[in-house]
Amino acid sequence: MPVQDTVEVDDGILVHFTESVPMSTYLTCFIVSDFSYTGDTLMNGQEFRVYATPEQVSKTEYARQIGKSVIEYFIDYFDIDFPLPKLDMAAIPDFVSGAMEHWGLVTFRETALLYSTEISSSANKQRVATVVSHELAHSWFGNLVTMDWWNDIWLNEGFASYIEYKGVDYAEPTWQMMDQFIIADLHPVLILDATLGSHPIVQTVLTPDEITAIFDTISYNKGAAILRMLEDAVNQENFKAGVTKYLENHQFENAVTQDLWNALQEIVLDEINVTEFMNTWTMQMGYPVIDVTSDSEGNYVLKQRRYLTNPDAVDENVTPYNYKWMIPVTYITSDSNVPQYVWFNHTADEVTVPKDNVDWIKFNYKQVGYYRVNYEESDWARLTEHIGSLSVADKAHLLEEAFRLAQSNDITYAIALNLSTYMKEEIEFIPWSVLSTMMFELNVYLASSSIYSDFKVFVQEMVGNAYNTLTWEEDAEDDHLKRRARTTVLNLACAMEHQTCLTEATQRFQNWLTNSEPLSQDLRTIIYNYGVAGGTTENWEQMYNIFVEEKDASEKLKLMQALTYSTNETLLERLIEIAETEEVVRGQDYFTLMQYISENPVGTTIVWDYVREHWLDLVNRFGLNERYLGRMIPSITKSFTTTAKLEEMQNFFAEYPDAGAGEAARVQALETVQNNIKWLQSNKELVEAWISNYINQS
């Protein structure tokens, strides 16, 4: 609320604020600081300010622009005015969360609010836009209406995680944000939710540790993904009207998930049973894969089953729906890009779709549905032949789907790898983001393979055309997505030892370090990382000194990441020691640093050994209720592929059984390593054979 008056008293100033609206206590915030601000006025007259430390206040301009644009879009979208008489946003130098939606005084890490036109990258800019949009969406979903208890935290976080994309899409319409949702939110949660370490969206939480742990990928990403599917099923206007009705019905009060379904039901009437539909997605974990086969009568026959990355995994949990879902199935064909709809009820054994003599059919249009689709080999072949003509979203979907279905042994890796060869002609960011992810995963599995060099040659060939098209040379006219595509492609090329790429990166690095030649905002991360990787100890020391002196939070993270690219074990160990105090590495960046080091093959074991040896020190420093401490374990063990490492993990967990908020993370970590071991047993030889054959024929 705004300041009412200030009164000088003996030992300072007493500030009175006007009385707040009814609100949840966890949304209260006071900041006492010497911050400066840039200001604006919202469409209905409310004062809007963005605060930062005085030396950083010039970097608040983009957040002010995007914040004003997004909040005014939300006022229109929700058809409810921003509920407070003022709005402030503040960049905090050391802040444990990414951001927090304190009502009327939203707090952010500096990396999530500050943007410099001189040094920030396109990825930094998008991060600021999405986090600002996410937090401002909470002004309605979470603040105006708050969940009744933490069981329903997904109402807050799932909704804000979805609607943030609409806000940024309005403010930055050329960024393809609604398609970017697929790679940024959907694909990551599909990995977690295909394991036994997942959990239902709505589940009972009682203790502080359980509450902390539920602020996770399921509540945020899956919550967002099923709302996206719901919106598509009931149509955008009905969804919007239902959301507004829900907010109006419960403003300045608490609500539960059922209240949202009831409001939507009033809008869609008898068209669909919203509760029955959505309960199948919120009350049980996981999701289905639809197997598509052909019958003798000229139909596609669809059957559903639960999808698990490890098909041999046994889940002893019982659900009210027996792991069946009510699925709004969509599809397009060679004859029509207009999606067709068919409902697959959780009580039905199968659904049929007429073939209609089309050349190809693709189910799950733009991957709007939260499910996978597996085809017969002949249909995969037809999709492989025509993938180049599909939308960016459908390309990204098919690429991700094929590799995940191969990972679970539902199809052979030959199908996925054959499909991926179309990428030789692709230059768009979103499909390249998917292929890059898949190639980095294979890189972990094949790092010790006899055909590892052939694998790198294969990836270099896939990336060759995009590398030569996008190049290192930037143009002022390059749009946001071209810039994102360039960094994705160049990073993959350098990682796979594309010699021209590495030479360019190291040369630019040396010119910058020696002659202070300015570096591109978007390319500097690649130049820093591969410059350090191929550089000397003296280069590393120079980088370290630059890192210590750097004041910009986003740039500091880039420099910190580059330091972890060193192949010198002693330097990596030194970084870990430096981070033991907060003189150089802020507490908020500690877990990021440890993850960066663990992602370096030289650093993985160093970090793992350190964490086991210093576990009690870490617990004393951060506390077992710190969600990032628990999540550190899966992030540093995700590349383990041996039973020896698995046993080390099991022994460590046995020695320190109290996991606090990291209990679920431990389950997920063990399952990931077990799946890695299984992958090598099931797929390594098949992938090696395909790669060798491809290289021999090319």
The answer to whether the annotation marks 134 as part of a ligand binding site is: yes
Q: Which H helix or E strand runs over 231?
A: helix 223-234
| Other beta carbons less than 10 A from residue 271's beta carbon | 12
| Other beta carbons less than 10 A from residue 410's beta carbon | 17
Strand ranges, E, within 295-407: 299-306, 327-333, 336-344, 351-354, 361-363, 372-374
Residue closest to 588 by CA, chosen among 541, 615, 624, 621:
621
* Total residue length of the chain: 698
The answer to whether the annotation marks 16 as part of a ligand binding site is: no
CB 51 within 8 A of CB 29: no
Q: CB-based burial of residue 576 (10 Å sphere; 0-12 exposed, 13-18 middle, 19+ buried)?
A: buried
Place of tokens 């650093």: 603
Beta pairing class for 99-100 and 145-147: unpaired
Q: Give SS3 for 362.
A: strand
- Catalytic machinery residues: 135
The tokens for 221 are 């990403």
The answer to whether the annotation marks 102 as part of a ligand binding site is: no
Torsional sign, CA 557, 153, 160, 87: negative
CB 182 within 8 A of CB 165: no
Half-sphere exposure at residue 111, Cβ-oriented, CA atoms within 13 angstroms: 19
Q: Give SS3 for 116.
A: coil
Q: Give SS3 for 293.
A: strand
Place of tokens 């009705």: 245
Residue closest to 544 by CA, chosen among 517, 579, 520:
579
CB 449 within 8 A of CB 682: no
| Residues in the annotated binding site | 134, 138, 157
Binding site members for Zn(2+): 134, 138, 157
